[in-house]
Structure 1
């Protein structure tokens, strides 16, 4: 009898050792936990022709922003699965190959079809899910709902105690507005496997969306010391705690967390997280009226100069636009806006015109043209979801609009926006602003 993966799917290896290491490696990959690379390399060593072990290693390389290594390993997987693989494994490798080789739309289509045929193939089902998944970066406005729909379509295929599925099902519901239900699911998943950075992350998001920032900060303070600093989500989970402190009007606490865990010199996070976390936290501080210590913007700019230099990745483009505006690099801001405008005209930017609009708006904000910022950003506010990421990450754009409304004298519009935000997610910061506007 062929060995099975963690969820009962057959594996085309005759090596029990390779199968054991593969199961462990995928578990660690799905938890963003250190040790996944070593486990998957052991699987390959035990059976060099085991295609799925090569494919999972390729996926990990891609997650860690190592594209050349990812392409080489998925090519190795494709060569092996063609010689010795079953139908499910051939489809599995094909989906990952499309994603790794820069064909996200086709990868999404194939991943959804694969999930319909083999819903318990968690590694492939994971690709459309999450803040940085194929659905989030598809350019859709309703990707939050699409993730819920995907999870609910396949929920019957997962055991009630499947920690991975509970985590992503919970996160999807919380992001889509069913915060209480989503948090309960995420809490169950996290309780089943606490050595799970994606679990701690999902629960932090659910708490944020429920206005329970202090609970999230307490959770992170208790849990984070047990997560090695080499973990790719270490800095980002700490960013959530800094965000909570900033909402409570504790900028020094936020800066202390930033200095210890988030800034480029101390984090082993993925470039997309490091760029977005540093830029968004510093922008928020500045926009809220706090002083950003000397050197922090320069450090963020030096780090970011190595990444996302080419326009076309909407989530990164928005943050690179924020960085250029905040550091007074108007030439870089204009160059990115022009490149994005060209992509929109060519019909090759999935997220569409909202991306250059965000970059123009934040440039106006940085130049203290608050009325201009409002004029650009207000008409496209409902389209910001197209850039992907999470609600907590995208809120920076709404924060910018809100501050611009207040500073341009649009008090009635600012109050209306705050009313909607407080109804959706109460926060100490918004409560303070609302009180000031009502005075």
Structure 2
């Protein structure tokens, strides 16, 4: 039989809070956590808002040496991984190092660390950089550091597909489990909030310059004006089903289907991306999961917040689902867009929704834009089929889709909760 892969641990470090419980509370309350960027002075930039992890103290998750050698992006990865392991009931150190692996996604690496060192190189009297510059900024730094610290010596790797990478990491975890590794750490974190990183994003023309945090990021809305950058993400413990059952692990859900495609063509800035290959990724994921479109309970879309891109995504969803549209929900307007960490966070929200037996309402749109009239979930409701489709589109044409089947919710406690 083909090995089945289930999620047994969820670690969230995001603008919505540190820990899965804090994130879920923010999602249910619909609290917006976008605000002025504080990690550096954004004065002079047209975009001055971001989603930052509140009150994050890296000292609680990484020792002094690790903090000196690595970037905030990796500190967030340390935190999310430790939270995921604890949530899964697994030890900090792998008891079977070659049976545990880590595969994360990354977009741009250690931005704040690299910013500091390059400013010292070009602006300081010594004209030098520190010894750790060569590794701290590197997009594989988090995977390497986690592998060393937790003794994950199985097949390890890093995936680079911008926002699509957060879903690709979970798909790769399933493949790794089917090849014989019983425990894989997957997911993604991000920290794109530095002067250089913000300048790079501004060059795309996709960032929102709206000054009001309540209205800056409005995907699928008539007022959509671009996305707001954010840090953070989510990390998962993915296990082979029999391995999880043998130790009595709590199971959030199963990864049953996935797909990745590429547009293979430049994006027209006026018309937006061609929805054809994104729709193909969605269909392939459903086919591989053995799921018919009308069986899908809920969709978490990419929700970029750029009008042309939103219309293209809506067109792709209509191409897959026709007139039997499932519920659509997104919480990115609450947190900002954390690139690959954002798609991992969407997957975490889906699994938490099934765990709590409640699909969360979408954080918008208030008024869908023309061409974006989807079946947005306006109020929380209980799941029906317990099947979620999560979609993500990475810049330069990457498309990924993931099908999650939620486990049955836990029985009510004596207090009825």
TM range, normalised to the smaller chain? under 0.3
**TM-score of the superposition, structure 1-length normalised?**
0.26
Task: Please tell me whether Structure 1 or Structure 2 has the larger radius of gyration of its CA atoms.
Answer: 1
**TM-score of the superposition, structure 2-length normalised?**
0.27
Judging by fraction of residues, say which structure has more helix: 1
Relative contact order: is structure 1 or structure 2 higher (C-alpha 8 Å, sep ≥ 6)?
Answer: 2
